[in-house]
């Protein structure tokens, strides 16, 4: 699932199909091209997840948990929850992740909470990432809310 892919138009979709030979004016739009979400954005949710996990590993995020949301939520395909040791590290992990995704996937992420550094939410569309300070993560216990009952978190 790629949220927002339906409304994204490519430049090709906006180009008119041909010109009238007599006037040189555009005649009409070309027929829409059938595309999948992966064609439109150039990557899959699994590729995005792999890059998110690699970025978190590079920046020494701790206690990384990956939750598969496919078939359980329309919000995203995956959720990743992790910790930073301090507010400064939480903000740095989040900022570097957003920068890497922008450079490598041309993806502008929505980010909330970076100013305080207690809990930063990064919404990439297909993967939602929560970066917590350990005390805040313990308080909210998102894993318990999203994991099926009796399931153990899959730590990466």
Is residue 4 in some structural domain? no
Range of the domain at 123: 43-155
- Give Dmax over CA atoms of the chain in angstroms: 72
- Going by C-alpha positions, the residue among 14, 6, 129, 108 that lies closest to residue 61 is 129
**Predicted local confidence at residue 147, as pLDDT:** 76
Q: How, if at all, do strands 78-83 and 62-68 pair?
A: antiparallel
| pTM, two decimal places | 0.71
Is residue 94 in some structural domain? yes
36 and 88, same domain (yes or no)? no
53 and 110, same domain (yes or no)? yes
The answer to whether 132 and 85 are in contact (CB under 8 A) is: no
Q: What is the pLDDT of residues 40-97, one digit of tens each?
A: 468 899 999 999 999 999 999 999 999 999 988 888 999 999 999 999 999 999 999 9
Structure-block tokens of residue 126: 């297909």
Q: How confident is the model at residue 118 (pLDDT cuts 50, 70, 90)?
A: very high
pLDDT: is 19 or 112 the higher one?
Answer: 112
The DSSP result for 4-72, as a single string, is TTTT---HHHHSEEEE-TTT--EEEEPPPPP--HHHHHSS-HHHHHHHHHHHHHHTT-EEEEEEE-TTT
**Residue 62 pairs with which residues in a beta bridge?**
83
18 and 74, same domain (yes or no)? no
Q: What is the pLDDT of residues 83-102, one digit of tens each?
A: 999 999 999 999 999 999 99
């Amino acid at each position: 699932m790629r949220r927002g892919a339906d409304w994204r138009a490519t430049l090709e979709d906006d180009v008119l199909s041909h010109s009238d030979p007599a006037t040189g004016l555009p005649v009409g739009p070309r027929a829409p091209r059938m595309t999948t979400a992966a064609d439109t954005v150039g990557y899959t949710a699994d590729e995005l997840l792999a890059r998110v996990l690699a970025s978190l590993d590079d920046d020494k995020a701790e206690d990384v948990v990956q939750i598969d949301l496919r078939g359980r939520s329309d919000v995203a395909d995956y959720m990743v929850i992790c910790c930073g040791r301090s507010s400064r590290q939480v903000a740095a992990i989040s900022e570097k992740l957003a920068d890497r995704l922008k450079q490598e996937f041309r993806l502008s992420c929505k980010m909330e909470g970076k100013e305080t550094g207690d809990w930063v939410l990064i919404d990439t569309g297909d993967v939602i990432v929560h970066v917590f300070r350990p005390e805040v993560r313990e308080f909210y216990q998102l894993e318990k809310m999203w994991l099926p009952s009796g399931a153990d978190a899959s730590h990466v």
